[in-house]
Amino acid sequence: MAQILKTSCSIGNLGKRSSLLRLQEDTTNWFAGMGNLIKVLTRDIDHNAAHFFLDFENAQPTESEKEIYNQVNVVLKDAEGILEDLQSYRGAGHEIREAIQHPNDEKLQEKAWGAVVPLVGKLKKFYEFSQRLEAGLRGLLGALTSTPYSPTQHLEREQALAKQFAEILHFTLRFDELKMTNPAIQNDFSYYRRTLSRMRINNVPAEGENEVNNELANRMSLFYAEATPMLKTLSDATTKFVSENKNLPIENTTDCLSTMASVCRVMLETPEYRSRFTNEETVSFCLRVMVGVIILYDHVHPVGAFAKTSKIDMKGCIKVLKDQPPNSVEGLLNALRYTTKHLNDETTSKQIKSMLQ
């Protein structure tokens, strides 16, 4: 009898243990299920965050946008003229070579100096424009990252400011492309500085010295020494904006950039959105803005745009670029290859690296 009782107790204990295990398993499954559901929901929220049409062609400022919009517009209306001046910049290479080869020929020295001084005036204008552009960008960042709205809400609500932000990025990439392919800029400015220094030593009055004093010449020299000077100006301005606004989480700024990249990618890969573009130039504008904002994000974000934790879908963005006619995007792919900061980090996946090879 005692043996039977003992056996039945053991069976009872086994039953209890089995029930407990089943309960524990059910609870684990329930939490796992809920976790998966939450993952799906948040993934859909993130995915849909960029699913709106940003009207780069027709966006007009609302009353609340007008103050910042008008300030930035004063800067942007000069952007096309700056690009035209840079595109037509031929340099004084011939005159400089002649002057260097015949150092004792005063006429050739004067001719070279006369050719370089007005060009340095142009370079000064480009540099001063970069300072105005920096101020405009910081005004836009202040408006597009302020609380209580999220970056997505800002970009959707304040489309005219988002369009201006895109125009600044578009200008920046175009300026830097032109500068990179024009070695005359640095050669002219180096000759100007060397000649000016020699004139000072010999106490020769220099026409044009008043235009660019020594302090300004130093700052211009640093600016033109950069491979992509406008991009460097924007990334420095964005970093400075973050450091000066300590009450604003850095994510507000980087999320604004990543959302803009996502919006451009989604508009380019979604036929419904793309069909709403009325100007064929809007596609290349969108592509350039997407690349510009990726590069800016990569310079400003602590781990960059290529890490797994990045909020930019880099594979998707590169695929969108590669889906375009090859000749139209090679410059943009090169910009990702050579002007980003974190592409060659160990945290960048081999797949992304091979997509950009």
Question: Could you report the per-residue pLDDT of 60-99, keeping only the tens digit for each?
Answer: 998 989 999 999 999 999 999 999 999 999 999 999 999 9
pLDDT tier for residue 205 given thresholds of 50, 70 and 90? low
Give alpha helix (H) positions in the chain: 2-49, 66-76, 79-87, 93-101, 106-144, 151-157, 159-180, 184-201, 214-225, 229-244, 250-269, 271-274, 281-300, 314-322, 326-338, 350-355
What integer pLDDT is reported at residue 209 of this predicted model?
Answer: 55
314-322 helix and 250-269 helix, angle to the nearest 10 degrees: 40
Cβ atoms of 150 and 255 closer than 8 Å: yes
What's residue 70's pLDDT? 95
Give the contacts of 76 (CB within 8 A, at least 6 positions apart): 136, 164, 167, 168, 171
| DSSP string over 240-301 | HHHHH-TTS-HHHHHHHHHHHHHHHHHHHH-HHHHTT--STHHHHHHHHHHHHHHHHHHHHS
Higher-pLDDT residue of 245 and 190 is 190
What confidence category does residue 113 fall into, taking pLDDT thresholds of 50, 70 and 90?
very high
Instruction: Identify the residue with better confidence: 236 or 54.
Output: 236
> For residue range 224-245, what is the model confidence (pLDDT) as tens digits?
999 899 999 999 999 899 888 8
User: Looking at the predicted structure, is the pLDDT value of residue 50 above 90?
Assistant: no
Q: Are 54 and 164 in contact (CB under 8 A)?
A: no
Residue 5 has pLDDT above 60, yes or no: no
Instruction: Report the distance separating Cα 324 and Cα 320, nearest Å.
Output: 7
Amino acid 248: pLDDT: 82
Range 249-274 average pLDDT: 89
Q: Which residue type is seen at 115?
A: A
Q: What is the mean pLDDT of residues 244-248?
A: 84
**What pLDDT is attached to residue 174?**
93
Least confident segment among 7-16, 164-173, 243-252, 288-297: 7-16
Q: Which one, of 289, 288, 316, 314, lies nearest residue 301 by Cα?
A: 314
Q: Is the CB of residue 162 less than 8 Å from the CB of residue 59?
A: yes
